[in-house]
Amino acid sequence: MAVFTRVSEADIAAWLSNYSLGTLIELQGIPAGIENTNYFVTTSNGRFVLTLFEKLTSDDLPFFLNLMAHLARHGIPCPCPVADKQNHFLGKLNDKPACIVSRLSGKSVTQPNTAQCAAVGAMLGQMHSAGQSFGDQMLNPRGSSWRAEAANKVKRFLPAQDAALLESEVALHAANPLNGLPRGIIHADLFRDNVLMDGEHVGGLIDFYFACTGNLLYDVAITVNDWCMTPEGKLDATHTRAMLNAYHAARPFTAREAEAWPMALRVAALRFWISRLYDLYLPREGEMVHPHNPEQFKRILQNHIATPQPAWL
Amino acid sequence: MAVFTRVSEADIAAWLSNYSLGTLIELQGIPAGIENTNYFVTTSNGRFVLTLFEKLTSDDLPFFLNLMAHLARHGIPCPCPVADKQNHFLGKLNDKPACIVSRLSGKSVTQPNTAQCAAVGAMLGQMHSAGQSFGDQMLNPRGSSWRAEAANKVKRFLPAQDAALLESEVALHAANPLNGLPRGIIHADLFRDNVLMDGEHVGGLIDFYFACTGNLLYDVAITVNDWCMTPEGKLDATHTRAMLNAYHAARPFTAREAEAWPMALRVAALRFWISRLYDLYLPREGEMVHPHNPEQFKRILQNHIATPQPAWL
């Protein structure tokens, strides 16, 4: 349940009076999501989503809200923040930073088909292209130093073999950062549950709160590692090829990126193995969700190490 | 037929390569519209409208495009310009200034019902509210001096009685401008064909190319004069009351506005009587459309003079 802060119809009606969105028709809590409180808000102007930020602060939020507005301005289907009468995206509701964004059509899929993998690859390429003209920067909060620090904290919970794998991978990627690759805005969390599919079209990319500046290739690797993975933690060749071909059509890999692809897949798998270990063994106080099993990403990492994957150029 | 400049699939495909909108799926000319060339453009990202400006120049256009972007940013359903890879809304296609905007749902209605009149009144109020934080200004190109000049040119085509009515009304409103009323961004042409209705909801306000800075009351009068009018040129009381009540709920008239309402209805009717006379008797060279009959607006004006209307406060 992801309504951490309750919002009444009276609360939202009063809040909406500072917007040009008309009158409230319906308010409905959204059970999904683990970081924020979300409600569907239908007004006489249309369908929106209200978000109350439970952890992110008013200092962090302008980057994310301005990024979503920028991408929407370039025709990327993503939640577009609505400005209030003072022309601000960010407000405050029930003592939490809050904003209201456009609601997109579609729903997330758990078992994407080849066409859907291709559509997501193409849209990721468009998003990277549109992000090139975004002026702000954000350090990756899950980058090399976070990996080292978090791995250090969780390794004591692991069997010796896993701890050794974790340490050696962290050290390997720290010593061999993927420098000199095309950089820009990356979503950094484009898993299946963060894409709304409308049949075989992408209805929306959502949840930009891990977005940051980074290697575009790393973002592709994160996406492929989720969308194109078999239950055994191996890449499905047909799905991977479809996603990468569609991505290449929007933004072709450079030769250096094609070469770096196997390492990008490894470091992307490592990042999620670590965060899932962390969420499992060191949950934050008051955490309300069941953590994902870290084993899947350990398997993915092991498979990427055993069998380096081609970039299908 | 409103495709004045032909655009081929190759033209648009090349043009789209400077956007992050994916690949072209379909291109289809739009027959409606009298000022610009319009095409529906479907890409892998979604549904858009391409406009080539046949008369407006690159000097005029930023005001209109920035205005639409501002209103969309505030949640008003209006065409939202898409920025290209250089972050610009305005491009050039086949030697014409051109832009691509989001495509809205719904279609225009010719015989609106009471609920639709209310929905349009509410949305006009929201648009006026959202426009208050827009920074740019634009003089009304169809204001007092235009009325005097245009009336002067067309009066020689009219029977003496009509010419006398025209002259006296132009003089009356020149001598009694509606000063001291709330001002802001006005659409200035919100006729039935410029609103897309989605059942009883407003799917979109379109065609902002007469938008300017002016009295908000005048915009309401223009809208009522079209939406709530009977074929005899009299206001339908039920429709008018519904539209005004819904508008008042979003932005209540001031006492001074309520008092000025009958004169606002007259000057709004006068403006369209004059432009229709002008289009009929002094068509621009190469004009491709059948002009509207000016008689309807003469009748409306005469009826407003004979029976001043209440503002239903």
Give the model's pLDDT for residue A57: 86
Q: What is the pLDDT of residues B38-61, one digit of tens each?
A: 999 999 999 999 999 998 888 889
Q: CB count, 10 Å around CB of A267?
A: 27
- Work out the average pLDDT over B90-96: 95
**Spatial separation of the C-alpha atoms in residues B160 and B28, rounded to whole Å:** 47
The residue behind tokens 């960010």 is A90
Per-residue confidence at A77, pLDDT binned at 50, 70, 90?
Answer: very high
Q: What is the pLDDT of residues B260-277, one digit of tens each?
A: 999 999 999 999 999 999
Please report, for chain A, the start and end positions of each structural domain, with discontinuous segments joined by +: 9-102, 114-306
Assess B260–A contact: CB distance below 8 Å, yes or no.
Answer: no
Q: For residue B31, give the DSSP letter.
A: -
Tell me the shortest Cα–Cα distance from A128 to chain B, in angstroms.
9
- Whether residues A123 and B19 touch (CB distance < 8 A) is answered with no
ipTM score of the complex? 0.89
Q: What is the pLDDT of residues A223-276, one digit of tens each?
A: 999 999 999 999 999 999 999 999 999 999 999 999 999 999 999 999 999 999
Q: b/e per residue, B123-149, with b = 16+ CB within 10 A?
A: bbbbbbbbbbbbeeebebebbeebbee
pLDDT beyond 90 at A157: yes
Sheet strands (E) in A30-81: 36-43, 46-53
Q: Which residues of B touch A129 (CB under 8 A)?
A: 20, 85
Q: Amino acid identity of B133?
A: S
- Cα A241 to Cα A217, A268, A303, B70: the distances in Å are 15, 18, 18, 40
Assess B23–A contact: CB distance below 8 Å, yes or no.
Answer: yes
Query: Which residues 6+ apart lie within 8 Å of B141 measured at CB?
Result: B210, B212
Q: What is the pLDDT of residues A108-144, one digit of tens each?
A: 999 999 999 999 999 999 999 999 999 999 999 999 9
**What does the radius of gyration of chain A's CA atoms come to, in whole angstroms?**
20
Give the model's pLDDT for residue B35: 79
* Contact in structure between A34 and A42 (CB atoms under 8 Å): no
Q: CB count, 10 Å around CB of B285?
A: 4
Give the model's pLDDT for residue B250: 94
Q: Provide the percentage of residues in chain B whose pLDDT is more than 90.
A: 89
pLDDT beyond 80 at B125: yes
Q: Which residue of chain A has the CA closest to B19?
A: A74
Q: Which residues of A touch B48 (CB under 8 A)?
A: 75
Assess A22–B contact: CB distance below 8 Å, yes or no.
Answer: yes
Give the model's pLDDT for residue A312: 74
- Cα A127 to Cα A100, A121, B49, B273: the distances in Å are 22, 10, 20, 49
**Spatial separation of the C-alpha atoms in residues B243 and B182, rounded to whole Å:** 19
* Contact in structure between B235 and B229 (CB atoms under 8 Å): yes
**Spatial separation of the C-alpha atoms in residues A247 and A220, rounded to whole Å:** 8
Q: What is the pLDDT of residues A206-220, one digit of tens each?
A: 999 999 999 999 999
Packed helices B255-281 and B160-175: angle between N→C axes, nearest 10 degrees: 140
Q: Which residues of A touch B201 (CB under 8 A)?
A: 44, 46
Q: Provide the percentage of residues in chain A whose pLDDT is more than 70.
A: 97
Q: What is the pLDDT of residues A269-309, one digit of tens each?
A: 999 999 999 999 998 765 556 778 899 999 999 999 999 99
Sheet strands (E) in A54-104: 91-93, 96-102
Fold of A9-102: Phosphorylase Kinase; domain 1 (3.30.200)
Q: Which of A46, A69, A123 has the CB atom closest to B77's CB atom?
A: A46
* Contact in structure between B252 and B237 (CB atoms under 8 Å): no
Residue of A16, A18, A43, A44 to mutate, interface with B, max B Cβ within 10 Å: A44
Per-residue confidence at A94, pLDDT binned at 50, 70, 90?
Answer: very high
3-state secondary structure of B55: coil
**Spatial separation of the C-alpha atoms in residues A288 and A112, rounded to whole Å:** 28
Per-residue confidence at B247, pLDDT binned at 50, 70, 90?
Answer: very high
The residue behind tokens 């190319």 is B209
Q: Indicate the Cα dihedral angle B266, B271, B276, B281, nearest 10°.
A: 110
Q: Amino acid identity of A120?
A: V
The residue behind tokens 């009066």 is B155
Q: What is the pLDDT of residues A35-52, one digit of tens each?
A: 789 999 999 999 999 999
| CB neighbour class for B104 (10 Å; exposed up to 12, middle 13-18, buried from 19) | buried
* Contact in structure between A190 and A120 (CB atoms under 8 Å): yes
Find, among A110, A132, A112, the residue nearest to A121 by Cα: A112
Assess A159–B contact: CB distance below 8 Å, yes or no.
Answer: no
The C-alpha angle B155, B286, B144, rounded to 5 degrees, equals 35
Give the model's pLDDT for residue A1: 42
Token code pair at residue B265: 């209805």
**Spatial separation of the C-alpha atoms in residues A147 and A270, rounded to whole Å:** 8
* Contact in structure between A118 and A243 (CB atoms under 8 Å): yes
pLDDT beyond 80 at A34: no
**Chain B (43-82) residues lying within 8 Å, Cβ to Cβ, of chain A:** 43-46, 48, 69, 72-77, 80, 82
Per-residue confidence at B312, pLDDT binned at 50, 70, 90?
Answer: confident
Q: Which residue of chain A has the CA closest to B197?
A: A45
pLDDT beyond 50 at B1: no
pLDDT beyond 50 at B305: yes
Q: For chain A, give the mean pLDDT.
A: 94
Q: Which residues of A touch B87 (CB under 8 A)?
A: 133
Q: Which of B20, B73, B249 has the CB atom closest to A76's CB atom?
A: B20
The C-alpha angle B203, A29, B80, rounded to 5 degrees, equals 25
**Spatial separation of the C-alpha atoms in residues B32 and B36, rounded to whole Å:** 9
pLDDT beyond 90 at B286: no
- Cα A247 to Cα A111, A220, A262, A281: the distances in Å are 20, 8, 17, 36
Q: Amino acid identity of B193?
A: D
Assess B86–A contact: CB distance below 8 Å, yes or no.
Answer: yes
Assess A302–B contact: CB distance below 8 Å, yes or no.
Answer: no
Assess A110–B contact: CB distance below 8 Å, yes or no.
Answer: no
**Spatial separation of the C-alpha atoms in residues A69 and A79, rounded to whole Å:** 8
Token code pair at residue B20: 């992050």
Q: For chain B, give the mean pLDDT.
A: 94
Q: For residue A233, give the DSSP letter.
A: S
| Homologous superfamily (CATH) for A114-306 | Aminoglycoside phosphotransferase (APH), C-terminal lobe (3.90.1200.10)
Between β-strands B46-53 and B91-93, what pairing exists: parallel, antiparallel or unpaired?
unpaired
